[in-house]
Chains A and B, each alone.
Chain A
């Protein structure tokens, strides 16, 4: 019986019919999606922190407004994604608990610090750029609610990436101090950004199954290469450099070659040893714990009001 269900399920996927929450799905598909979507939602929420770090110090009113709007968009993305994950039978509070206990991960990139205003540009250009590369294919994810959430997310992300690029462009045309700031930010964010695509294909055991289920459409290495190719061109417009002496156009492959990624650093940050892992998680836990009385008050009040309505109706 299970076997029949599984065949029908795979058949739908092969025919590009979306899987909806009430449809039968293999338990492993459900679990993989919960892990992936909640990890994505957590990344949006934790990702608010490094950029939020510069809201009060944004250099002018226009930038301040754009930055608030951008960080707020990320909260919105977190919201759609948590809702999409909830359709798979997990609550938002359960997902938060997994984040706070360290069981659920979020994108490691947010464990790096934002040290100057140029970092806001670099995050927009590189981090959001890499995120878009990862996320555009997810708009065609086999799971309906995820695919639909991603359509909205991607629209906003491309605006984020443009504003990041524009910050760097302005700095690149600015004073020597501003150019230095911009170059320093790119130096620090480049390698972590290309690590965002995850381990190389031969180190990524889940990829084959995820591709069969069309949760994933391209491999990590394919997406990483695409990203490097785009950035290697865009950096020319910025008049800055990518900190990789091995980056060069390869006529025979039609792609840019790039240097060796420091996977040791990647795994160290994943395991909690990045510069800001502790700080980011503590901040999220603090917001959650200090908000407990607010949430309790809100539900107590809602309950009281319900009681009153019952009395009035009677």
Chain B
């Protein structure tokens, strides 16, 4: 399974705090975050690296950025990534007063939210059938911020509203873990910025429960190592790390993205981990609307209208993905699987058109969005950076149609399907 340009290369730069972020749309932001460890820091300001040209315009720099991302795309697939089937994760965010500390810029809180968003995106990319729920620790209680969901948009929406998540009060590990534990959750990831926890009972009881339920807890601490955090991770087989700086924080967090089976290869295989590739039987259900006559669901025995029908035995189940309670078939919704297919069949890269060939009668407009192309090459004097067409034309090698720069970016970053050839 091939990886594409969307995957940040952080996994390869473990330990070295250079989070080179491959994502195009946070390009500007991530540039500011690229920096070495604090002790080897040469203080770089991102705005110094942007050079104006003679005319005082930033156009050349912008073009350069585009060219760089194009080149990265052309280099293309590198490592193979294996995607897991079903994973349930609860992400616990520390929303206590200690998150307003400014030792990580701009604040721990803002940085955490930004990385949490990237984490969620990346996580769903690699675990298409997974589900994420979000719990916050604030004012001594655990707070449900996002319901467990398999739709990245829902999860992102839950953590997009900053004003609703304003840090306050003390965190409580026990309350948050208890809240996250309700239901069948396999993994808990905690981002912890505080040095205290105020719990109503004995947190070691909670820990024992987690060990019993085979819940894996991982903690990324932002302040310092706490014994209880370390113990949570060690006893449940999770990972523990203290972030040294912004880049290292991201590394620690993103190390938790690859599925446990992959990480368990080095260790003894974890609970339920099956490293061997296999062929699985799955069924795609039919969804019943809320207006259908109620039926007894096979999983809880409750009378419900909404639900999914197992394609093999026609039993009604409440939610997918799941195993059918009657015939044991794994029932998944096919869009969940399809979410990762653009990795398998990426759109072909377009190449930049350097000069127009009059004989081929070039089209006057972009084949996709019908925006007119510019007539002549812009800025004849400007240094022609490779990968950028002076005419703003990018051509698909399969269907030989021309596309504008916006559509080129859109097709390869979002759409993953060429409008000209449909592949």
Q: Do A and B truly interact?
A: no
